[in-house]
Amino acid sequence: MTSHPWIRHSDVFVDVQKKLDGHAQKHKTVEMQLASVAEETGEKLAALDVELAHARKEAKKDVEVTKRELTEAITEGLKRADDELARGLKAQDDKVERHQLIVEAILAKQQVRRNCRKVLT
């Protein structure tokens, strides 16, 4: 192997070493950047996990409130319907009772008329 007189082995070694050192430094920089990104991502995921837990807790509260409000509204509606039905039934009973009294009065008048006819005949 012949070498060029103007290139020395030590110069080539120094040049290669500089390039290797540069690559090593780039590698360390990229590793640090990746570690930083991984840490930030972990922090963001932890924050999102906390937000999600809070959102679930709030949603559960909202569902319970809505459930309670619907139950109260349905119960109140059923109570009003029951009251209206009771009033309607009472009105019908009163009407039947009035009609019964009228029928009894008419029957009594007819009985009196029959008795009068019997007496007159």
Can you say whether the dihedral through the CA atoms of 65, 68, 70, 76 is positive or negative? Answer: negative
Q: Give pTM, 2 decimals.
A: 0.51
CA angle 74, 76, 77 (to 5 degrees): 60
The pLDDT score that the predictor gives to residue 7 is 62
Cα 43 to Cα 35, 49, 55, 56, distances in angstroms: 12, 10, 18, 20
Q: What is the mean pLDDT of each run of 10 residues along the chain (121 residues)?
A: 59 82 94 97 97 97 98 98 97 97 95 85 71
